[in-house]
Structure 1
Protein backbone atom coordinates (compact mmCIF):
# COMPACT_ATOMS: atom_id res chain seq x y z
CA UNK A 1 0.00 0.00 0.00
CA UNK A 2 1.19 3.50 -0.85
CA UNK A 3 0.15 6.35 1.45
CA UNK A 4 0.56 9.94 0.29
CA UNK A 5 -0.35 13.02 2.36
CA UNK A 6 -0.69 15.91 -0.05
CA UNK A 7 -2.37 19.22 -0.69
CA UNK A 8 -4.49 18.33 -3.69
CA UNK A 9 -7.51 19.07 -5.82
CA UNK A 10 -9.61 16.14 -7.05
CA UNK A 11 -12.01 16.05 -10.00
CA UNK A 12 -14.05 13.06 -11.11
CA UNK A 13 -15.57 12.87 -14.59
CA UNK A 14 -17.84 10.01 -15.62
CA UNK A 15 -21.60 9.41 -15.48
CA UNK A 16 -21.54 12.14 -12.83
CA UNK A 17 -19.00 14.83 -11.97
CA UNK A 18 -17.56 15.67 -8.56
CA UNK A 19 -15.07 18.25 -7.36
CA UNK A 20 -12.92 18.48 -4.23
CA UNK A 21 -11.19 21.88 -3.91
CA UNK A 22 -7.54 22.19 -2.89
CA UNK A 23 -6.93 20.89 0.66
CA UNK A 24 -4.62 18.56 2.56
CA UNK A 25 -5.75 14.93 2.20
CA UNK A 26 -4.57 11.34 2.44
CA UNK A 27 -4.29 9.39 -0.83
CA UNK A 28 -4.27 5.60 -0.51
CA UNK A 29 -3.19 3.39 -3.40
CA UNK A 30 -3.86 -0.25 -2.57
CA UNK A 31 -2.28 -3.31 -4.12
CA UNK A 32 -5.69 -4.45 -5.42
CA UNK A 33 -5.64 -1.44 -7.76
CA UNK A 34 -8.02 0.84 -5.86
CA UNK A 35 -7.39 4.52 -5.12
CA UNK A 36 -9.05 6.28 -2.16
CA UNK A 37 -9.01 9.92 -1.09
CA UNK A 38 -9.57 10.57 2.64
CA UNK A 39 -9.96 13.65 4.81
CA UNK A 40 -9.42 13.85 8.57
CA UNK A 41 -13.13 13.34 9.21
CA UNK A 42 -16.09 11.36 7.95
CA UNK A 43 -15.15 8.14 9.76
CA UNK A 44 -13.97 5.36 7.44
CA UNK A 45 -15.63 6.58 4.24
CA UNK A 46 -13.40 8.15 1.57
CA UNK A 47 -14.34 11.48 -0.01
CA UNK A 48 -13.87 9.92 -3.43
CA UNK A 49 -12.38 6.73 -4.78
CA UNK A 50 -11.82 4.53 -7.82
CA UNK A 51 -12.67 0.85 -7.49
CA UNK A 52 -10.18 -1.78 -8.67
CA UNK A 53 -8.78 -2.52 -11.08
CA UNK A 54 -7.59 0.87 -12.27
CA UNK A 55 -4.44 2.43 -13.66
CA UNK A 56 -2.56 5.52 -12.46
CA UNK A 57 -0.57 7.78 -14.76
CA UNK A 58 1.66 10.25 -12.91
CA UNK A 59 2.78 13.32 -14.83
CA UNK A 60 2.48 17.09 -14.86
CA UNK A 61 -0.32 19.41 -15.89
CA UNK A 62 -0.04 22.20 -18.44
CA UNK A 63 0.87 24.51 -15.54
CA UNK A 64 3.68 22.20 -14.44
CA UNK A 65 1.92 20.84 -11.35
CA UNK A 66 2.15 17.18 -10.37
CA UNK A 67 -0.91 15.42 -11.73
CA UNK A 68 -2.32 11.90 -11.33
CA UNK A 69 -4.82 10.54 -13.82
CA UNK A 70 -6.65 7.48 -12.44
CA UNK A 71 -8.62 5.45 -14.98
CA UNK A 72 -10.92 2.53 -14.22
CA UNK A 73 -10.27 -0.60 -16.28
CA UNK A 74 -13.83 -1.96 -16.27
CA UNK A 75 -15.89 1.24 -16.16
CA UNK A 76 -16.08 4.70 -17.64
CA UNK A 77 -14.75 7.50 -15.48
CA UNK A 78 -11.54 9.34 -14.70
CA UNK A 79 -10.19 10.70 -11.42
CA UNK A 80 -7.83 13.68 -11.86
CA UNK A 81 -5.73 14.50 -8.81
CA UNK A 82 -3.82 17.78 -9.03
CA UNK A 83 -1.10 17.86 -6.34
CA UNK A 84 0.19 21.18 -5.07
CA UNK A 85 2.52 19.84 -2.37
CA UNK A 86 3.50 16.37 -1.10
CA UNK A 87 3.90 16.22 2.68
CA UNK A 88 4.49 12.47 3.00
CA UNK A 89 4.94 9.56 0.59
CA UNK A 90 5.60 6.00 1.75
CA UNK A 91 4.93 2.43 0.60
CA UNK A 92 4.29 -0.58 2.82
CA UNK A 93 3.95 -4.30 2.10
CA UNK A 94 1.04 -5.45 4.28
CA UNK A 95 1.17 -9.06 3.10
CA UNK A 96 -1.88 -11.32 2.82
CA UNK A 97 -4.65 -10.35 5.20
CA UNK A 98 -6.20 -13.31 7.09
CA UNK A 99 -9.62 -11.69 6.92
CA UNK A 100 -12.04 -10.52 9.56
CA UNK A 101 -12.34 -12.82 12.56
CA UNK A 102 -16.06 -12.72 13.28
CA UNK A 103 -17.59 -13.02 16.70
CA UNK A 104 -20.95 -12.69 18.39
CA UNK A 105 -24.11 -12.60 16.29
CA UNK A 106 -22.35 -12.46 12.93
CA UNK A 107 -20.26 -15.55 13.64
CA UNK A 108 -23.32 -17.41 14.94
CA UNK A 109 -25.30 -16.39 11.84
CA UNK A 110 -22.59 -17.91 9.69
CA UNK A 111 -22.69 -21.16 11.66
CA UNK A 112 -26.49 -21.37 11.50
CA UNK A 113 -26.65 -20.60 7.77
CA UNK A 114 -23.92 -23.16 7.11
CA UNK A 115 -26.22 -25.73 8.76
CA UNK A 116 -29.33 -24.47 6.90
CA UNK A 117 -28.21 -22.93 3.57
CA UNK A 118 -31.58 -23.68 1.95
CA UNK A 119 -33.09 -20.87 4.07
CA UNK A 120 -31.25 -18.47 1.74
CA UNK A 121 -32.46 -20.07 -1.50
CA UNK A 122 -34.26 -23.29 -2.39
CA UNK A 123 -31.91 -26.15 -3.21
CA UNK A 124 -28.80 -24.40 -1.86
CA UNK A 125 -26.21 -26.73 -0.29
CA UNK A 126 -23.00 -25.94 1.55
CA UNK A 127 -19.62 -26.63 -0.06
CA UNK A 128 -17.37 -24.92 2.50
CA UNK A 129 -17.29 -22.26 5.19
CA UNK A 130 -14.61 -19.53 5.03
CA UNK A 131 -13.77 -20.31 1.41
CA UNK A 132 -10.28 -18.80 0.85
CA UNK A 133 -9.47 -16.12 -1.73
CA UNK A 134 -6.42 -13.89 -2.20
CA UNK A 135 -8.25 -10.97 -0.53
CA UNK A 136 -9.89 -12.84 2.34
CA UNK A 137 -12.32 -15.69 2.99
CA UNK A 138 -15.84 -15.86 1.60
CA UNK A 139 -18.26 -16.64 4.45
CA UNK A 140 -20.00 -19.52 2.68
CA UNK A 141 -19.36 -21.20 -0.64
CA UNK A 142 -22.48 -23.06 -1.73
CA UNK A 143 -23.95 -24.82 -4.75
CA UNK A 144 -27.47 -24.35 -6.06
CA UNK A 145 -29.83 -27.01 -7.44
CA UNK A 146 -28.40 -26.61 -10.97
CA UNK A 147 -24.81 -27.06 -9.78
CA UNK A 148 -23.76 -23.40 -10.01
CA UNK A 149 -21.38 -22.06 -7.36
CA UNK A 150 -22.87 -19.43 -5.04
CA UNK A 151 -20.80 -17.14 -2.77
CA UNK A 152 -22.58 -15.89 0.37
CA UNK A 153 -21.47 -12.84 2.36
CA UNK A 154 -23.07 -12.51 5.81
CA UNK A 155 -23.49 -9.33 7.86
CA UNK A 156 -25.57 -8.31 10.84
CA UNK A 157 -26.47 -5.08 9.06
CA UNK A 158 -26.25 -5.05 5.28
CA UNK A 159 -24.75 -1.85 3.93
CA UNK A 160 -23.02 -0.74 0.72
CA UNK A 161 -19.58 -1.77 1.99
CA UNK A 162 -20.73 -5.38 2.32
CA UNK A 163 -22.00 -5.41 -1.27
CA UNK A 164 -18.67 -3.96 -2.44
CA UNK A 165 -16.83 -6.67 -0.49
CA UNK A 166 -18.89 -9.45 -2.09
CA UNK A 167 -18.39 -7.85 -5.52
CA UNK A 168 -14.61 -8.06 -5.09
CA UNK A 169 -14.88 -11.71 -4.06
CA UNK A 170 -17.02 -12.52 -7.11
CA UNK A 171 -14.57 -10.84 -9.47
CA UNK A 172 -11.83 -13.17 -8.19
CA UNK A 173 -13.96 -16.30 -7.96
CA UNK A 174 -15.18 -15.92 -11.53
CA UNK A 175 -11.57 -16.16 -12.74
CA UNK A 176 -11.32 -19.68 -11.29
CA UNK A 177 -12.13 -22.25 -14.01
CA UNK A 178 -12.85 -24.90 -11.37
CA UNK A 179 -15.73 -22.82 -10.02
CA UNK A 180 -17.17 -21.72 -13.38
CA UNK A 181 -17.49 -25.06 -15.18
CA UNK A 182 -21.29 -24.73 -15.19
CA UNK A 183 -21.51 -20.95 -15.32
CA UNK A 184 -20.60 -17.77 -13.48
CA UNK A 185 -20.39 -17.76 -9.70
CA UNK A 186 -23.33 -15.78 -8.37
CA UNK A 187 -23.63 -13.99 -5.05
CA UNK A 188 -26.06 -13.76 -2.15
CA UNK A 189 -25.81 -10.90 0.35
CA UNK A 190 -27.38 -12.06 3.63
CA UNK A 191 -28.07 -9.93 6.69
CA UNK A 192 -30.60 -9.38 9.45
CA UNK A 193 -31.30 -5.96 7.96
CA UNK A 194 -30.34 -4.64 4.51
CA UNK A 195 -30.26 -0.91 3.82
CA UNK A 196 -32.20 0.31 0.74
CA UNK A 197 -29.02 1.72 -0.86
CA UNK A 198 -27.31 -1.65 -0.45
CA UNK A 199 -30.27 -3.39 -2.11
CA UNK A 200 -30.07 -1.04 -5.09
CA UNK A 201 -26.33 -1.60 -5.49
CA UNK A 202 -26.71 -5.37 -5.10
CA UNK A 203 -29.40 -5.47 -7.79
CA UNK A 204 -27.16 -3.42 -10.09
CA UNK A 205 -24.33 -5.93 -9.54
CA UNK A 206 -26.59 -8.96 -10.10
CA UNK A 207 -26.35 -10.00 -6.43
CA UNK A 208 -29.36 -11.46 -4.61
CA UNK A 209 -30.32 -10.21 -1.15
CA UNK A 210 -31.61 -12.38 1.68
CA UNK A 211 -32.92 -11.05 5.00
CA UNK A 212 -32.12 -13.51 7.79
CA UNK A 213 -34.39 -14.10 10.79
CA UNK A 214 -31.86 -14.82 13.52
CA UNK A 215 -34.41 -15.97 16.10
CA UNK A 216 -36.03 -18.35 13.64
CA UNK A 217 -32.66 -19.84 12.75
CA UNK A 218 -31.89 -20.36 16.43
CA UNK A 219 -35.17 -22.24 16.80
CA UNK A 220 -36.77 -19.58 19.00
CA UNK A 221 -39.51 -18.86 16.48
CA UNK A 222 -41.30 -22.18 16.96
CA UNK A 223 -44.71 -22.24 15.25
CA UNK A 224 -45.98 -24.99 17.62
CA UNK A 225 -45.70 -22.66 20.62
CA UNK A 226 -47.29 -19.54 19.10
CA UNK A 227 -50.61 -18.25 20.46
CA UNK A 228 -51.64 -17.02 16.99
Structure 2
Protein backbone atom coordinates (compact mmCIF):
# COMPACT_ATOMS: atom_id res chain seq x y z
CA UNK A 1 0.00 0.00 0.00
CA UNK A 2 1.20 3.50 -0.88
CA UNK A 3 0.10 6.50 1.18
CA UNK A 4 0.72 9.97 -0.19
CA UNK A 5 -0.20 13.17 1.61
CA UNK A 6 -0.23 15.99 -0.92
CA UNK A 7 -1.73 19.33 -1.77
CA UNK A 8 -3.72 18.49 -4.86
CA UNK A 9 -6.76 19.06 -7.02
CA UNK A 10 -8.73 16.24 -8.61
CA UNK A 11 -10.85 16.04 -11.75
CA UNK A 12 -13.06 13.08 -12.63
CA UNK A 13 -13.73 12.67 -16.34
CA UNK A 14 -16.28 10.06 -17.36
CA UNK A 15 -20.05 9.61 -17.40
CA UNK A 16 -20.21 12.67 -15.16
CA UNK A 17 -17.63 15.30 -14.36
CA UNK A 18 -16.58 16.32 -10.86
CA UNK A 19 -13.89 18.61 -9.47
CA UNK A 20 -12.15 18.75 -6.11
CA UNK A 21 -10.40 22.12 -5.64
CA UNK A 22 -6.87 22.48 -4.32
CA UNK A 23 -6.44 21.18 -0.74
CA UNK A 24 -4.31 18.86 1.38
CA UNK A 25 -5.50 15.24 1.04
CA UNK A 26 -4.50 11.62 1.55
CA UNK A 27 -4.05 9.57 -1.62
CA UNK A 28 -4.26 5.81 -1.07
CA UNK A 29 -3.00 3.37 -3.71
CA UNK A 30 -3.66 -0.28 -2.87
CA UNK A 31 -2.00 -3.41 -4.21
CA UNK A 32 -5.12 -4.30 -6.20
CA UNK A 33 -4.65 -1.09 -8.21
CA UNK A 34 -7.47 0.90 -6.61
CA UNK A 35 -6.91 4.60 -5.91
CA UNK A 36 -8.90 6.68 -3.42
CA UNK A 37 -8.71 10.30 -2.28
CA UNK A 38 -9.48 11.13 1.36
CA UNK A 39 -10.04 14.29 3.38
CA UNK A 40 -9.37 14.53 7.12
CA UNK A 41 -13.05 13.94 7.93
CA UNK A 42 -16.01 11.91 6.61
CA UNK A 43 -14.85 8.82 8.55
CA UNK A 44 -13.90 6.08 6.08
CA UNK A 45 -15.62 7.39 2.94
CA UNK A 46 -13.30 8.74 0.21
CA UNK A 47 -13.99 11.96 -1.68
CA UNK A 48 -13.41 10.15 -4.95
CA UNK A 49 -11.98 6.83 -6.04
CA UNK A 50 -11.30 4.44 -8.91
CA UNK A 51 -11.80 0.71 -8.48
CA UNK A 52 -9.72 -1.93 -10.28
CA UNK A 53 -8.92 -2.87 -12.91
CA UNK A 54 -7.31 0.49 -13.59
CA UNK A 55 -3.90 1.92 -14.39
CA UNK A 56 -1.95 4.77 -12.80
CA UNK A 57 0.52 6.87 -14.76
CA UNK A 58 2.64 9.56 -13.11
CA UNK A 59 3.94 12.51 -15.09
CA UNK A 60 6.45 14.94 -13.62
CA UNK A 61 5.65 18.56 -14.40
CA UNK A 62 8.39 21.09 -14.96
CA UNK A 63 7.54 24.66 -14.16
CA UNK A 64 8.48 27.66 -12.15
CA UNK A 65 8.34 27.71 -8.38
CA UNK A 66 4.76 27.32 -7.18
CA UNK A 67 3.64 25.37 -10.23
CA UNK A 68 2.26 21.80 -9.90
CA UNK A 69 4.95 19.14 -9.47
CA UNK A 70 3.16 16.12 -10.91
CA UNK A 71 0.06 14.88 -12.71
CA UNK A 72 -1.38 11.45 -11.92
CA UNK A 73 -3.83 9.93 -14.37
CA UNK A 74 -5.87 6.95 -13.15
CA UNK A 75 -7.88 5.28 -15.92
CA UNK A 76 -10.19 2.26 -15.87
CA UNK A 77 -11.10 -0.06 -18.74
CA UNK A 78 -14.14 2.10 -19.59
CA UNK A 79 -11.89 5.08 -20.27
CA UNK A 80 -13.03 7.00 -17.18
CA UNK A 81 -10.25 9.00 -15.56
CA UNK A 82 -9.20 10.56 -12.29
CA UNK A 83 -6.72 13.36 -13.01
CA UNK A 84 -4.86 14.28 -9.84
CA UNK A 85 -2.74 17.41 -10.04
CA UNK A 86 -0.21 17.55 -7.21
CA UNK A 87 1.07 20.97 -6.17
CA UNK A 88 3.15 19.73 -3.24
CA UNK A 89 3.94 16.30 -1.81
CA UNK A 90 4.26 16.32 1.97
CA UNK A 91 4.78 12.58 2.47
CA UNK A 92 5.10 9.52 0.23
CA UNK A 93 5.32 6.16 2.02
CA UNK A 94 4.89 2.57 0.84
CA UNK A 95 4.20 -0.49 2.97
CA UNK A 96 3.99 -4.20 2.14
CA UNK A 97 1.00 -5.45 4.14
CA UNK A 98 0.93 -9.00 2.79
CA UNK A 99 -2.17 -11.14 2.34
CA UNK A 100 -5.03 -10.25 4.63
CA UNK A 101 -6.84 -13.14 6.36
CA UNK A 102 -10.16 -11.33 5.88
CA UNK A 103 -12.97 -10.52 8.24
CA UNK A 104 -13.68 -13.12 10.90
CA UNK A 105 -17.38 -13.23 11.66
CA UNK A 106 -18.54 -13.26 15.25
CA UNK A 107 -20.29 -16.30 16.69
CA UNK A 108 -23.81 -15.18 15.86
CA UNK A 109 -23.03 -14.33 12.22
CA UNK A 110 -21.15 -17.59 11.75
CA UNK A 111 -24.04 -19.53 13.28
CA UNK A 112 -26.58 -17.64 11.16
CA UNK A 113 -24.63 -18.66 8.07
CA UNK A 114 -24.54 -22.28 9.19
CA UNK A 115 -28.25 -22.37 10.02
CA UNK A 116 -29.32 -20.67 6.81
CA UNK A 117 -27.16 -23.03 4.77
CA UNK A 118 -28.79 -26.00 6.50
CA UNK A 119 -32.27 -24.59 5.88
CA UNK A 120 -31.68 -22.78 2.61
CA UNK A 121 -35.33 -23.25 1.61
CA UNK A 122 -36.19 -20.48 4.09
CA UNK A 123 -35.08 -18.06 1.36
CA UNK A 124 -37.83 -19.46 -0.84
CA UNK A 125 -39.27 -22.74 -1.96
CA UNK A 126 -36.98 -24.62 -4.31
CA UNK A 127 -33.74 -22.96 -3.21
CA UNK A 128 -30.70 -25.28 -3.20
CA UNK A 129 -27.31 -24.70 -1.58
CA UNK A 130 -24.25 -24.60 -3.84
CA UNK A 131 -21.72 -23.94 -1.05
CA UNK A 132 -20.84 -21.78 1.91
CA UNK A 133 -17.89 -19.35 1.77
CA UNK A 134 -17.81 -19.30 -2.03
CA UNK A 135 -14.40 -17.85 -2.96
CA UNK A 136 -13.90 -14.68 -5.02
CA UNK A 137 -10.74 -12.60 -5.59
CA UNK A 138 -11.95 -10.08 -2.98
CA UNK A 139 -13.15 -12.52 -0.33
CA UNK A 140 -15.68 -15.31 0.17
CA UNK A 141 -19.42 -14.93 -0.40
CA UNK A 142 -21.25 -16.20 2.69
CA UNK A 143 -23.65 -18.44 0.77
CA UNK A 144 -24.06 -19.25 -2.90
CA UNK A 145 -27.27 -21.06 -3.85
CA UNK A 146 -29.81 -21.53 -6.64
CA UNK A 147 -33.45 -20.55 -6.65
CA UNK A 148 -36.36 -22.62 -7.95
CA UNK A 149 -35.70 -21.43 -11.52
CA UNK A 150 -32.04 -22.40 -11.32
CA UNK A 151 -30.73 -18.82 -11.11
CA UNK A 152 -27.64 -18.24 -8.98
CA UNK A 153 -28.13 -16.31 -5.73
CA UNK A 154 -25.37 -14.76 -3.60
CA UNK A 155 -26.23 -14.19 0.07
CA UNK A 156 -24.41 -11.81 2.43
CA UNK A 157 -25.21 -12.31 6.13
CA UNK A 158 -24.85 -9.73 8.93
CA UNK A 159 -26.09 -9.31 12.47
CA UNK A 160 -26.89 -5.66 11.78
CA UNK A 161 -27.12 -4.80 8.13
CA UNK A 162 -25.71 -1.42 7.16
CA UNK A 163 -24.64 0.29 3.96
CA UNK A 164 -21.18 -1.31 4.21
CA UNK A 165 -22.74 -4.75 3.91
CA UNK A 166 -24.72 -3.75 0.82
CA UNK A 167 -21.58 -2.31 -0.78
CA UNK A 168 -19.71 -5.54 0.03
CA UNK A 169 -22.41 -7.67 -1.58
CA UNK A 170 -22.51 -5.33 -4.60
CA UNK A 171 -18.79 -5.89 -5.17
CA UNK A 172 -19.28 -9.66 -4.97
CA UNK A 173 -22.16 -9.49 -7.46
CA UNK A 174 -20.08 -7.44 -9.88
CA UNK A 175 -17.39 -10.14 -9.90
CA UNK A 176 -19.73 -13.13 -9.94
CA UNK A 177 -21.70 -11.74 -12.86
CA UNK A 178 -18.53 -11.79 -14.95
CA UNK A 179 -18.52 -15.59 -14.67
CA UNK A 180 -20.59 -16.90 -17.58
CA UNK A 181 -21.23 -20.16 -15.71
CA UNK A 182 -22.93 -18.29 -12.85
CA UNK A 183 -24.47 -15.20 -14.43
CA UNK A 184 -26.95 -13.76 -13.96
CA UNK A 185 -26.41 -13.70 -10.20
CA UNK A 186 -29.03 -12.21 -7.89
CA UNK A 187 -28.26 -10.81 -4.45
CA UNK A 188 -29.84 -11.36 -1.05
CA UNK A 189 -28.86 -9.19 1.93
CA UNK A 190 -29.78 -11.06 5.11
CA UNK A 191 -29.49 -9.73 8.65
CA UNK A 192 -31.19 -9.76 12.03
CA UNK A 193 -31.68 -6.02 11.65
CA UNK A 194 -31.39 -3.98 8.44
CA UNK A 195 -30.96 -0.23 8.67
CA UNK A 196 -33.41 1.83 6.56
CA UNK A 197 -30.62 3.43 4.50
CA UNK A 198 -29.13 0.01 3.75
CA UNK A 199 -32.54 -1.36 2.72
CA UNK A 200 -33.11 1.60 0.40
CA UNK A 201 -29.69 1.18 -1.23
CA UNK A 202 -30.12 -2.58 -1.59
CA UNK A 203 -33.56 -2.31 -3.18
CA UNK A 204 -32.30 0.40 -5.52
CA UNK A 205 -29.65 -2.06 -6.72
CA UNK A 206 -32.10 -4.92 -7.13
CA UNK A 207 -30.90 -6.75 -4.02
CA UNK A 208 -33.54 -8.55 -1.97
CA UNK A 209 -33.53 -7.93 1.79
CA UNK A 210 -34.30 -10.70 4.28
CA UNK A 211 -34.75 -10.15 8.01
CA UNK A 212 -33.53 -13.18 9.94
CA UNK A 213 -34.94 -14.36 13.26
CA UNK A 214 -32.01 -16.04 14.98
CA UNK A 215 -34.11 -17.82 17.59
CA UNK A 216 -36.56 -19.01 14.96
CA UNK A 217 -33.77 -20.48 12.87
CA UNK A 218 -32.49 -22.29 15.93
CA UNK A 219 -35.95 -23.75 16.40
CA UNK A 220 -36.51 -22.03 19.77
CA UNK A 221 -39.56 -20.05 18.67
CA UNK A 222 -41.50 -19.87 15.42
CA UNK A 223 -39.95 -21.38 12.28
CA UNK A 224 -41.21 -18.47 10.23
CA UNK A 225 -38.69 -16.29 8.35
CA UNK A 226 -39.91 -12.80 7.61
CA UNK A 227 -39.25 -11.64 4.04
CA UNK A 228 -39.49 -8.02 2.90
1:67 equivalent among 44, 68, 71: 71
Query: Contact conserved, 2:141 with 2:172, CA < 8 A, in 1?
Result: yes
Q: TM-score, normalised by structure 1?
A: 0.79
Q: CA deviation at 1:113?
A: 1.3
For 2:226, the equivalent position in structure 1 comes to none
| SS of residue in 2 equivalent to 1:98 | coil
Q: Is the 8 A contact 2:68 2:88 kept in 1?
A: no
Once the 2 structures are TM-superposed, how far is the Cα of residue 84 of structure 1 from its aligned partner?
A: 1.4
Aligned pairs for 1:47-86 (under 5 A) are 47-59=47-59, 64-74=68-78, 78-86=81-89
Please state if 1:134 is matched with 2:137.
yes
TM-score (norm 2): 0.79
Structure-2 residue corresponding to 1:150: 153
What pairs with 1:96-135 in structure 2 (closer than 5 Å)?
96-135=99-138
Whole-Å Cα distance in 2 between the matches of residues 209 and 53 of structure 1? 29
- Structure 2 unaligned residues grouped into runs of 5+: 224-228
Q: Counterparts of 1:204 and 1:97 in 2: how far apart (Å)?
A: 31
Q: In the alignment, is the contact (CA less than 8 A) between 1:97 and 1:136 conserved in 2?
A: no
Deviation (angstroms), 1:108: 2.2
Task: From the superposition, tell whether residues 64 and 21 of structure 1 become closer, same or farther in structure 2 (CA, over 3 Å).
Answer: closer
CA distance 1:73–1:196, change in 2 (3 Å):
farther
- Please state how far the C-alpha of 1:17 moved relative to its aligned partner: 5.3
1:184, distance to aligned residue in structure 2 (A): 1.9
Structure 1 stretches of 5 or more lacking a match?
224-228
| CA–CA separation in structure 2 for the residues paired with 1:14 and 1:195 | 32
Q: Are the aligned partners of 1:96 and 1:135 in contact in 2 as well (CA < 8 Å)?
A: no
